[in-house]
Amino acid sequence: MEALLVSIGTVAFAEMGDRTQLLSLVLAAKYRKPWPILAGVLLATLANHATAGLIGVWFGHFLTAAVLDATVGLSMVAIALWTLRPDRLQGGAGVRGRGAFVATLIAFFIAEIGDKTQVATVALAAGYSSLAAVVAGTTAGMLAANVPVVFMGKAFAERLPMKAIHYGAAGLFVGLGSVFIGRALMH
Q: For the chain, which residues make up each domain, given as ranges? A: 2-186
What ranges in the chain are assigned the alpha helix state H? 2-15, 19-31, 34-60, 65-83, 100-112, 116-127, 131-159, 162-186
pLDDT in tens, 13-22: 888 877 788 8
Buried b (16+ CB within 10 A) or exposed e, 2-13: ebbebbbbbbbb
Burial class (CB in 10 A: 0-12, 13-18, 19+), 144: middle
Task: Return the amino acid letter for 19.
Answer: R
pLDDT at residue 155, rounded to an integer = 61
| The model's pTM | 0.75
Answer for the pair 36, 101: CB distance below 8 angstroms, yes or no: yes
Tell me the pLDDT band of 93, cut-offs 50, 70 and 90.
Answer: very low
pLDDT in tens, 98-127: 689 999 999 999 888 888 899 899 999 998
Average pLDDT over residues 19-26: 83
**Cα distance between residue 187 and residue 182, in whole Å:** 9
Q: Which residue has the higher pLDDT, 93 or 40?
A: 40
Residue 26 has pLDDT above 70, yes or no: yes
Answer for the pair 143, 52: CB distance below 8 angstroms, yes or no: no
